[in-house]
Every structure is written in structure tokens, then in C-alpha cells.
Amino acid sequence: MFNNKELFKTVFKEQLVSRLGRSMEDATAGDIYKILGGLIREWVGQEWAKTNQNYRVQQEKQIYYFSIEFLIGRLLGNNLLNLGILKTVQDGLLDLGWDLEQIEEQEPDAGLGNGGLGRLAACFLDSLASLKYPGHGCGIRYKYGLFEQKIVDGDQVELPDNWLQKSCVWEEQRLDERVEVCFWGRVEVREKNGSPVFDTVNCEKVWAVPYDVPIIGYDSSIVNTLRLWSAQPSIDPSVIKSGEFNRHDRFLDYTRSVESISEFLYPDDSSYEGRLLRLKQQYFLCSAGIQNILRSFDKLELSYTKLPDKVAIHINDTHPVLVIPELMRILMDEKGYGWDEAWDITTRTVSYTNHTLLSEALETWPVHMVRELLPRVYMIIEEMNKRFCGMLLERYADRQYLVSQMAIIEHDQIKMAHLAVVGSHSVNGVAELHTKLLKGSVMKPFDDLFPERFNNKTNGITHRRWLMHSNSKLSHLINESIGTEWIKHPQQLLQLKSFKDDAAFQEQIMNIKRNNKLRLAAYIAQKQGITVDPDSIFDVQVKRLHGYKRQLMNILHVMHLYNEIKDAPTADHVPRTFIFAAKAAPGYLLAKSIIKLINVVADVVNKDPEVNSKLKVLFLENYSVSLAERIIPAANVSEQISTAGKEASGTGNMKFMMNGALTIGTLDGANVEMYEMLGDDNMFLFGLRSEEVLEFYKHGGYLARDVYEQEPWIKRVIDQLVVPGPFCTYDREFELIFQSILEHNDEYFVLYDLDSYAKAQAAINEAYLNPQDWASKSIVNIACSGRFSSDGTIHQYAEDIWDIRQVQPSNFV
């Protein structure tokens, strides 16, 4: 059935009629998508059941990856690819008059994430299943994903992302596996056999209902599970009896407040209520997930002291860090363990990844909020803090300042990263530089105390989605040249290096790139009515909008190019198309202002006949996984230009590299490791190094105003932000940006690095003028990208942190 086109067509047509009451002639693209999705779900059902049954029977150790974000994007194409039936289905549909790509477009993007952190979780799930590791995701089934972005008059407008509107073909609701999560209430202490017992009474109960999404491995016969929890009202019969909900409006209030828990990803946290809701979400995820894990573990009928032998729990950043006190609570209050034993079990089970050093992104929660919402959990955190500080006091009698510096609770705030480090057995950074900085700065005293806990796991991306699926032509060319080994062993891509000077291969690579550019150009023409030159350099910066990522530096440089062309319209210029896509956090005004600036510059540049054959600027709205899949294969240049030391790793950098784009970048995050492989011949480095940035932060010595005064072209573009002219329609239009540079002294060193950035851009123009040489660099990039497959990363997590093993489906019962 899986690989027989004729059979596929017959079954497909039957299903269309029986399920939708439609004939092939009357079917819409939406119908085709629905039937195809349903068929795949049905086909994987058996393997899904088999995988789960075998995990249980063989008592394999399982890893549960807890994350507040899972940016999985669309699943149809990837599922077909991983099942090995992409071609059969593609051809079958073509016979029936449908183009698979068009059908894939019917699927809403599951945008349950914001950026790299959520996409990493999704890539990891793909690698776990493909490498036959027993690993599952645990997240929240947000009714609305990250907002849908529209650009109206150059401004970002946020609309709700109602991705579930048309129902999701992949998910399976498992009502029978729901669990109850408790909020509020009061803790009562009683004595039992001489020991205190803690009961939380009068709490508000909420059902956590799981929705399971199958995670299909590539040619692995493994189907793991992404379990997403949805909040639903739970009405305790005793509450109904006492007349609590006699009033209809109170019942509605309760229902509303419960449903809001899984309504939005990142609810607005500018108010107290918003902050509280985020905390509720985090505990909801942790409590539901832990209860679920323990319920599965109970089936093994083992002592809980064996939990770390059978279960690994990983927390993706600190959002799910309440798994630590929650596991402690259940082990002590419900399973009867004492503190020390519960602590040993918990810390041996949990591991943690840090994803940022930015102090504003390190989470803290006010004591009073946690104490009220989660009284028993708070008691446990307080006890953790007391014991930890006691230990520190003994150890650092001579350096008491370390105690307050390292405490979990300080100034009535709970520091979630400290809780995570103290309550887990492994803490990892996501690129070598990031881990080094983590150990040397933010976490220095913790690294001194627990050196064995800290380790590095450089991020990775799944080459199945980011090369095989999104750039199938390139993938096929690779197969033709080095065979298909690389698919299971992506490091084998290195063999491509031997083709770097092969003229025929170079031409094929360039042809594929040009086709991808044409495809993107068609999309741009359709969306914005703008024609772009496929022979111009496609220079791309797509990622969250943030000061440290320095989209501002990029657009200031574009303004400079515009000025240069206007000054000398007949001079030679290598044509460039600058492409941006980015969402800004709704409350981040500076970021929104940068989006506006990009759009204003785009409008001016694209409409100016003197300029627009040499320069084009595009801002593509609503950046998402599927848009990334369209843009990245078409890029010639990848902009990875963060202030050194700020980007923990970056994963977009790896995706571009894998698709043959050349990077212009700083020595930041995983760029450093890319550079180690690529060298100066195949990458365009510029700007401050992280040590230099650190030095400036520590000792000062940088004045943005000096650069502004001393470099005329820089002064000119900065002035253009506020003085009416081509980019500024009214006086001081971009004052916020202007001030961030000159009044707040350019926190991210945009002006400092601008000149060296411009020089690196000029070097790119030079290189592009030699197509053979450019193709050769592009080939080396693709060849070296296998190192950044998430398969390698997952093997390292499995061996060094989780201690899990690959299963053999051939041994399955």
C-alpha cells in the first residue's frame, strides 16, 4: 500500500467519496489535503501503537523533552518524506490532477513557538524519531500560536493565529489520559507516623487534556509522540453541591479563566494578570507532564528510586523548571519519600539547557505570586533555597557575598535559572562560545561549585526538513554525486568538497540556486507585486527582530548604498536584493520602529528608477517555518550579524549554510564553529570579537557619538533617521532609533561595527563577480554543514546527558 501508486490512487478516491461525499472532479485543494492527512494518520497508527507497546514491554529508558514552544510548522510534506512515500504520493496526485506542493499549502503552520528555541525542539523530535531514540515532546496546545503579522503602512499589526480553525489532521485527543492540575488553595499540615504530611485544600482544579501528534522517524519504523496539553474546566462534584456555581456568570468566569491557560502562546505580560497567566501556563505544563510520566512509570511496577534509570526529563530553557519542585512534591506528598531520597531521584532525572545570556531574558518570578498560586510548590522551592544556602554558607564562610549571589530566592524574586542548575544533573549551553561565556560569567559561581554539571551541546537542525524537503533539487543532486549515505550520516556531506572545483557540478549548483531564486521571486511578485532580479545577490536576514541581532545595522548599510547610488548613478554596482522577515514582540517599540524603517527604506528604494535596478529591499510579512523553507534555499548571502557574545547559537545560520548560502557574520554563537570549518575563504567575518565587547561593557571606552562625528557616511545615514529627506517624512520620525544610538550609546555596537560590516559587504560583491569561485565556496558550505545536523547533537545529548539507547524495531514484538 505504501509504495504502490495505483493502489494509493484507488484508496484515495474511495476515501474522498466515503469521508467527504465528494468526487475527484468536485474536490477542492482543501479536501485533498484533508483526505491525504487522514490517510497518513491512519497508516502510521499501527507503527505508533507498536512503538509505544514496545517501549513499554522492553522498558526502554524514555526521554521527555519539556518545552513551552514547539515550532513544528507544517507536517504533511515531512511526514511523506520520512515515511518514504513522497514520490509515490506526488506522482499519484499528479495523475489525479493535483500538485502536491499546492496541497501542502493548505496546511496551516503550527506556529507554537517564537524562534530558535521552539524550532530546535521540533528539529530534536525529528532526530530522536529518525535515530530510533525513545524520545517525546511535552508542550501546550495553544489555541492561538504566535500572532500572525500583517504589515499595514509599514507597521507591524498583530492578528490572532487561529491555526486550529480548520481542525488539525494530525492530533489525537486522549480524553481518557487527562490529569488534574491544582492552583491556589491552602496547605494544611498533619502528622502521620511522626512525619508531617502536606495537603493542599480548597484549590482550583483544571483538567489537562492531552492531544498527541505522531512524530514519524525517517525510515526508522519509529513513531514517537508530541503530547500537547489543553486546559479544560474540571468541576469537582463537591463544588457543584455547595452551590458554588449556582450563578451562571460565575461558572462562565471560571470556564473562561481555565481556558485562557492554553489559549495564547506568550500572553501579554505587561500587566500583573498577564504575568500570572504565564506562570499558570508553566505550572500547567509541568504538572500535567510529570503526572503523565509517573503514570506510565507506575505500569512498570518499579520503585521510584529507579525513576532515573527509566526516565530522563529535559527542560528547554527555564520555562518548564517547575518540573523540579513538582516532581519533589509528588514523590514526597503522594509517594511518601523523604526529602533526601526525593531530591536524589529528581536531580538524577532532570537536565537543563540554557538558551540565552541576556539578563533581561533570564526569568524570575515574585515570591508572593508563586506562594499564592502554588502554595505547596513554593514551600518546596523555599526549602530548596534554605538547604542550598545552608550548604553555601558552610562552604563559603569567607565569601558570604556568594551566598546571596547564588541563592535561588533573593529580594523576593525566585531566580529560575538558579533553580534549574541546583535541581538538575546537567546544564548545557548551545554552542561552544555560549557555553564558555555561560561558565565564565552568568553561571561562574555555579560552574565553580558544580563543574561536572556544565557541558556544551552545539545546536543542530534536521537536514531532512531543511535540505531534503525544502530543497529537494539540491538533495537529488547530492544523491547523484556522492550517493545517499549522507541521509543517514550527514557528516558524509563532506565528500562534496571534492566537487568544489568541478565546473559541471558548480554549474548544477548555481542552476538549482537560480531556480530557487525564481521560485521566491514569483512568491514576492504574487504577494507584493514587486519584480526582483534573479541574477542579483539575494541577501537575507530572517529571524526574530531584536536589538542584538542588529537588523538595524543591515538597513543602515542599505541606506548608505542608496546614498552611494544616488551620488553616482552611473557607477558600477553589483545588483542586490535585500530580504528581511521578522516578527517583533508586540510591546518592543524599538523593534517595531526598525520594522517600520525597513519598510520605509524598501518603499523608497524600490520606487526609485535610478536605484531599483541595482538595489531592492523586501520585507516579507509573517515569518514562519513555511516561509523560511521558501526563502532559505534561495539565499546567496546569510546575514548572521549579532553583537558578538549575544546570540547563544543561532540555527538559521546552519540552515543557510546547508543550502549553500555564504555567511556574512560576526564571531558569535555557532558562527564560530562554522568559521572553524570554513575559514576566511568561505565566510565573510567582520566586527568586534566577544572579548572586545565584554571589555567595553566592563571598562567603557566606546562612544557611539565619536563614530558618528568621525565617519561622514555614517553621520549621513543616522541623520536621515530624523531629518526630513528620502527616508524620513516628518521631523524626527525615527527618533527612537536615533536615540538608541546616540543617547543610549548604542548598546549593541551597531555604529562601531558598521564600517567593518560595509567592507565585508564590499568583499562579497567582489566574490560574486567570479561565479565559479562563488559556486566553489557555496559547495564547501554545503559540504561542511553536516556537522550541524541535529542528528549529531541528539547523539551527544543521548550519550552524555540522557543515557538513552537507540532501539531496534526489528526486535519489537
Q: Cell triple for residue 1? A: 500500500
Residue among 669, 749, 761, 768 that touches ligand 26V (CB under 6 A): 669
Q: Which of 35, 33, 14 is nearest to 23 (CA)?
A: 14
Is 543 noted as a catalytic residue in this protein? yes
Amino acid at 805: R
In the complex, minimum distance from the CB of residue 662 to ligand 26V, in angstroms, rounded to a whole number:
20
Pick between residue 435 and residue 506 the one whose CB is nearest to ligand 26V: 435
In the complex, minimum distance from the CB of residue 457 to ligand 26V, in angstroms, rounded to a whole number:
10
| Neighbour count for residue 711 (Cβ, 10 Å) | 16
Instruction: Give the residue nearest to ligand 26V (CB).
Output: 116
Pick between residue 263 and residue 668 the one whose CB is nearest to ligand 26V: 668
Pick between residue 294 and residue 357 the one whose CB is nearest to ligand 26V: 357
Is 462 noted as a catalytic residue in this protein? no
In the complex, minimum distance from the CB of residue 136 to ligand 26V, in angstroms, rounded to a whole number:
19
Q: Is 360 a residue that touches ligand 26V (CB under 6 A)? A: yes
Any long-range contacts for 676-684 (C-beta under 8 Å, 24+ apart)?
A: 677/784, 677/787, 678/780, 678/781, 678/784, 681/777, 681/780, 682/777, 682/780, 682/781, 682/784, 684/760, 684/761, 684/763, 684/764
Amino acid at 420: A
Q: Is 361 a residue that touches ligand 26V (CB under 6 A)? A: yes
Binding window for ligand 26V (CB under 6 A); candidates: 111-119, 127-135, 300-308, 763-771: 111-119
Q: Is 459 a residue that touches ligand 26V (CB under 6 A)? A: yes
Q: Is 547 a residue that touches ligand 26V (CB under 6 A)? A: no
Q: Is 433 a residue that touches ligand 26V (CB under 6 A)? A: no
Q: Is 648 a residue that touches ligand 26V (CB under 6 A)? A: yes
| Cα gap 31→19, rounded to integer Å | 10
Q: Is 355 a residue that touches ligand 26V (CB under 6 A)? A: yes
Q: Which residues, listed in sequence order, are joined to residue 70 by a DSSP beta bridge? A: 112
Is residue 639 exposed (0-12), middle (13-18) or buried (19+ Cβ within 10 Å)? Answer: buried
DSSP designation for 321: T
Binding window for ligand 26V (CB under 6 A); candidates: 113-121, 230-238, 467-475, 629-637: 113-121
Q: Is 428 a residue that touches ligand 26V (CB under 6 A)? A: no
Binding window for ligand 26V (CB under 6 A); candidates: 95-103, 185-193, 595-603, 641-649: 641-649
Is 411 noted as a catalytic residue in this protein? no
Q: Cell triple for residue 719? A: 541623520
Q: Is 356 a residue that touches ligand 26V (CB under 6 A)? A: yes
Residue among 108, 115, 145, 320 that touches ligand 26V (CB under 6 A): 115
Residue among 116, 185, 217, 490 that touches ligand 26V (CB under 6 A): 116
* Stretch 244-273 residues interacting with ligand 26V (CB under 6 A): none
Is 607 noted as a catalytic residue in this protein? no
Q: Is 359 a residue that touches ligand 26V (CB under 6 A)? A: no
DSSP designation for 261: G
DSSP designation for 467: I
In the complex, minimum distance from the CB of residue 357 to ligand 26V, in angstroms, rounded to a whole number:
9
Binding window for ligand 26V (CB under 6 A); candidates: 5-13, 109-117, 530-538, 608-616: 109-117
Q: Which residues, listed in sequence order, are joined to residue 537 by a DSSP beta bridge? A: 576
In the complex, minimum distance from the CB of residue 806 to ligand 26V, in angstroms, rounded to a whole number:
24
Beta strands in 440-589 (DSSP E): 454-456, 537-542, 576-581
Query: To which residue does cell 525564481 refer?
Result: 518
Q: At what angle do helices 76-83 and 86-95 cross, to 10 degrees?
A: 120
Name the active-site residue from 318, 577, 651, 663. Answer: 651
Name the active-site residue from 418, 583, 655, 777. Answer: 655
| Cα gap 783→777, rounded to integer Å | 10
Binding window for ligand 26V (CB under 6 A); candidates: 305-313, 356-364, 385-393, 446-454: 356-364
DSSP-H helix ranges across 260-374: 272-298, 307-310, 323-329, 339-349, 367-373
Q: Is 435 a residue that touches ligand 26V (CB under 6 A)? A: no
Is 699 noted as a catalytic residue in this protein? no
Beta strands in 39-170 (DSSP E): 62-66, 70-73, 110-112, 135-140, 145-152, 155-161
* Stretch 154-193 residues interacting with ligand 26V (CB under 6 A): none
| Cα gap 567→569, rounded to integer Å | 6
Is 56 noted as a catalytic residue in this protein? no
Kindly list the residues in this chain that would bind ligand 26V in the complex (CB under 6 A): 115-117, 120, 317, 355-356, 358, 360-361, 430, 459, 546, 647-651, 669
Q: Which residues are catalytic?
A: 355, 543-544, 549, 651, 655
